[in-house]
Amino acid sequence: MKELKILAIVVFFTALVYIGVEPFAHSQMHPHVAPADFAFKDLESLHVKGDKERGMELVQTHCIACHGLKTQGFPEPLPPTEAAIAYGVVPPDLSTAGALYDANYLA
């Protein structure tokens, strides 16, 4: 009979922890996070016009060192295996970046 009482107490406290404490702990350790807003709705409209020549100059100065731009005749500077060793990642080709990203992101 003594073992049955001990079992009942263990089951009771286990159920109490599982039903009462675990949901609270889960809500505290894993709070709800709002989804990311990549539409840039909070940004004001840019009242400037893009400059293709200036943009190409910036790309050639800063981006071509790691990325390729095959549509403009700039191959990737390193083969994928060497780039992975040097950078820890394989930098993507930026030929389609204008179609992928929002204009506010690229500006």
Handedness of CA 60, 62, 64, 69 (dihedral sign): negative
Q: How far apart are CA 5 and CA 46, in angstroms?
A: 73
In the predicted model, is pLDDT for residue 8 greater than 90?
yes
Predicted confidence band of residue 67 (pLDDT cuts 50, 70, 90): very high
Break the chain into its structural domains and give their ranges.
Answer: 1-33, 52-106
Q: How far apart are CA 16 and CA 21, in angstroms?
A: 7
pLDDT of residue 1: 86
In the predicted model, is pLDDT for residue 60 greater than 70?
yes
0.85 exceeded by pTM: no
